Each structure stands twice: as structure tokens, then as C-alpha cells.
Amino acid sequence: MMKINNAYYLLSSVKAQDFPDLPHPEFAFLGRSNVGKSSLLNMVTGQKNLCRVGQKPGVTKAINFFIINENLVFADLPGFGYSKLPKDVKGKFLPLINNYIAMRNNLKLVFLLVDIRRVPGEYEREIVIQCTERRVPVAIIATKCDKFSNNQLKNNSRIIASSLEIETDSIFLSSSKSRMGRDDILNLIEDYR
């Protein structure tokens, strides 16, 4: 299994022309606001404060790039779908995300995070379709799984799989609190790098 020895923030981009030009394999993390992206990234990297975790949804308003082990890039994309964000801010997120997926030649895998308690909607389906069209693999990470029993997790995983028209075994369960799923995520990164 891959080990993360160091991770640090590189830069933030709000426009495609500001994306860094790096030779390293890149892994993107995206999902709705309040899905737990920042907490998951902190858990995966083993650093409590690598990503800022906000008390309110919508903290990530740019694409934040991180260097991992000096030879990988993690990209933390803005959360989409949070209703209380101003329209002009929300209106910039989806084009930024779409441009990111379309333009990153070193993008090896997209981690699409979904809250285990919610049914994915049109945003999530659009991301899966866009990645499929670009031939970028997508791994579905169900977050906040410490809140449910095994039976509930299986049932909710089936609902999520049906909504996204994927197989249930394509969904990886995670919890930032219990560190559930960390090894699976690191193994996926190792497999796709």
C-alpha cells in the first residue's frame, strides 16, 4: 500500500489559465458542498490541517492543488450544489470543474464523493458522464459511513449505485472520523498512478 510521507499546499486556481503545469500524476477530489472533501483529504494524507475544514458548507471556492510525496498531485475542487452560495459564485464552480476535467492531461482518477445519507442528483451524474467521455476513471467514495450500521450501508450503497447507474462494488465506504476507507483510497491511487 502507498505511504504518504509528505504533503503540502501548492496553489489555488479560480481560472483554468492558472492551473499548474506539472508532470506528476494527478488525482481529483470533488463532490457537493458539505460532503466532507477536506476532512477526507486530511484523513488520507494523515495531516490534520492540510485542507481547511469549514463549519459551514462552501468553504472551498477554488481548486486547491497539493503536492504529495514530491511526485503526485491532489486537487481539491470546489463543492457544488450548496443552495446558500451566491448565484454568481455557484455559476463559476461548474464551468471551473468542467474545464479542469477537460484540460488536465495527467488526471489519472477522479474521486467523486457522495454522502452515504443522500441520493446523488444530476450534478453527480453529469460528472460521471463527463469523466466517462474523457476516459477518466471515477471512483465513488461514500462519506460519513460511521453513522450507519452494516445493513444500512449496504442498502444506501445500492440506492447510490442505482442512481448513478453503476455497480454497488464500485462504491468505496469511508469515514474521516474512523479512518474507514483510507487503505482502499491509497490502494486505488497506487493502482492508477
Q: In the numeric block, which cell numbers belong to residue 147?
A: 453513522
Cα–Cα distance measured from residue 84 to residue 179, given in angstroms and rounded to the nearest whole number: 30
- Say what the pLDDT of residue 83 is: 45
Residue-number span of the structural domain to which 159 is assigned = 7-192
Residue 61 falls inside a structural domain: yes
What is the C-alpha radius of gyration for the chain, rounded to an integer number of angstroms?
15
Q: Quick: pLDDT tens for 98-144.
A: 899 999 999 999 999 999 999 999 889 989 999 999 999 999 999 99
Q: Which residue, chain included where needed, has cell 450507519?
A: 148
Residue 1 falls inside a structural domain: no
Cα–Cα distance measured from residue 131 to residue 41, given in angstroms and rounded to the nearest whole number: 21
- Write the CATH number for 145: 3.40.50.300
Q: 113 pairs with which residues across the strands?
A: 31, 141
Q: How many domains in the chain?
A: 1
Backbone torsion region of residue 163, taken as left when φ is above 0, otherwise alpha when ψ lies between -120 and 50, otherwise beta: alpha
- Dmax (CA) for the chain in angstroms is 46
Backbone torsion region of residue 144, taken as left when φ is above 0, otherwise alpha when ψ lies between -120 and 50, otherwise beta: left
Residue 172 falls inside a structural domain: yes
Q: In the numeric block, which cell numbers belong to residue 74?
A: 491532489
Residue 93 falls inside a structural domain: yes
Q: Collapse the DSSP code of 26 into the 3-class scheme (helix H, G, I; strand E, B; otherwise coil) and give the result.
A: strand
Residue 134 falls inside a structural domain: yes
Q: Quick: pLDDT tens for 18-39.
A: 999 999 999 999 999 889 999 9
Q: Quick: pLDDT tens for 41-88.
A: 999 999 988 987 755 555 557 899 999 999 999 999 988 765 454 555
Q: Quick: pLDDT tens for 156-167.
A: 999 999 999 999
